[in-house]
Structure 1
Amino acid sequence: MQNAHLVVTVLAAAMSGFSAYSLLSRADWVVQAMVEYRVPRTWWTPLGLAKAAGALGLLAGLVLPVVGLAATVGLALYYLGAVVTVIRARSYAHVPFPLVYLAPAVVAYGLGLAA
């Protein structure tokens, strides 16, 4: 169980880290989506930093579980907020994307509890 926890945690951190990098580096596909969802440009950097902090928090949670819990809660709120944003923009086909990033973080925490 501990190996599964480690693998899923690293995967979740890598996914959120990639998402943070994509937003902070202003990848075209991310910029197009953010404009489509009507997210103010002034929010892009703080949102990217929040995802990066969550990714680092997941990794730190391997040593300090309370940090992992805080990171999981933060990322869960972030990605659930992203779902709401996508729905408000009526881009219903994009709703699964934030959930794909949310799922490994939640599963990693659950595996940590089970271990």
Structure 2
Amino acid sequence: MFAVYATVTVFASLLNGSAAVVYLIGHEFPKSQLDMKGLPRSWAPALGMVLAAGSLGLLGGFAIPMLGTLAASGLVVYFILAFLAHLRVGSRTLANLTGFLVTSVAALAVNLLYHWW
């Protein structure tokens, strides 16, 4: 079970970490996404920091299990809210977002199964 937990957690951390870097370096894609949703571009660094914190929290869960659980839960909430923001403006390009959400849910599930059951 540890191999599954470690694989899913590291993958989710890398995925969210790469998204955090894209937000934090000021890439055009997150800016266009914020524009499409009608949100200010000034939110990009804050959203990038949330993703970075979630990514690091997932890895910190190897040492402190509750930290990993909270980080995975936070990422699930983040992506549910992002999903709702897309639906609010009528966006139907949800494939990438769904991948991030599913990965975060998987990280939460394996974390709960490995540490708490």
Q: TM-score, normalised by structure 1?
A: 0.90
Deviations 1:68-114 (A, max 9, x none): 1110111111111100111112111x223222112222212322333
Matches within 5 A, 1:1-115: 1-92=1-92, 94-115=93-114
What percent of counterpart residues are identical? Answer: 30
Query: Would you say the 8 A contact 1:37–1:86 is kept in 2?
Result: yes
**Count of matched residue pairs:** 114
- Paired residues of 2:31 and 2:41 also in contact (CA < 8 A): no
Q: Is the 8 A contact 2:23 2:48 kept in 1?
A: yes
Q: Which amino acid aligns with 1:40?
A: P
Which of 1 and 2 has higher RCO (CA within 8 Å, sep 6+)? 1
TM (norm. structure 2) is 0.89
* Structure 2 unpaired stretches of 5+: none
Question: Is residue 17–residue 51 contact of structure 1 (8 Å, CA) maintained in 2?
Answer: yes
- CA distances 1:39-92 after superposition (whole Å, capped 9, x unpaired): 212211111100100000000011211001110111111111100111112111
The runs of 4+ residues in structure 1 deviating greater than 6 Å are none
